[in-house]
Amino acid sequence: MSDLVGDARNLSPSAQEALRLRAVAALAEGRDREDVAAVFRVSLKAVDGWWAKWQAGGRDALVARPRGKRVGEHQVLSEAERQRFARRCSITSRVTWGFRVSCGRVARSAR
């Protein structure tokens, strides 16, 4: 195992998963945890964490999971607030907001 990975955070999620699985396989074969960390150029803490996850949940504990927030989780307004806002905007005329529509373009009216 002479592969040197570099910073694993720069790898794709599937490549990170493969790295975790290879590191755990090396540990299962009896390799020293410090050796595994050095060979794969990751921290000892990462190796220990992967091993603990492997022991607790097997391969499923090391698979790549979706990152980031779930769809809609990042929204500031609740669905009810968004609907109220949309209703209010459709009721309020563009003139009230200071816009006029001309030739398919929206232009700011002079005050």
DSSP reduced 3-state for 73: coil
The verdict on 14 and 58 lying in the same domain is yes
User: Do 51 and 22 meet the contact criterion of CB atoms below 8 Å apart?
Assistant: no
**pTM, 2 dp:** 0.54
Higher-scoring residue by pLDDT: 94, 42: 42
Q: Which two tokens stand for residue 19?
A: 């790295």
φ/ψ (deg, to 5) at 101: -105, 130
Residue 51 covered by a domain: yes
The verdict on 18 and 54 lying in the same domain is yes
Q: What is the pLDDT of residue 82?
A: 83
* Mean pLDDT (whole number) for 2-6: 50
C-alpha 83/C-alpha 103 separation (Å) is 29
The verdict on 50 and 13 lying in the same domain is yes
C-alpha 39/C-alpha 96 separation (Å) is 66
The verdict on 47 and 87 lying in the same domain is no
Residue found by looking up tokens 């794969």 in the block: 40
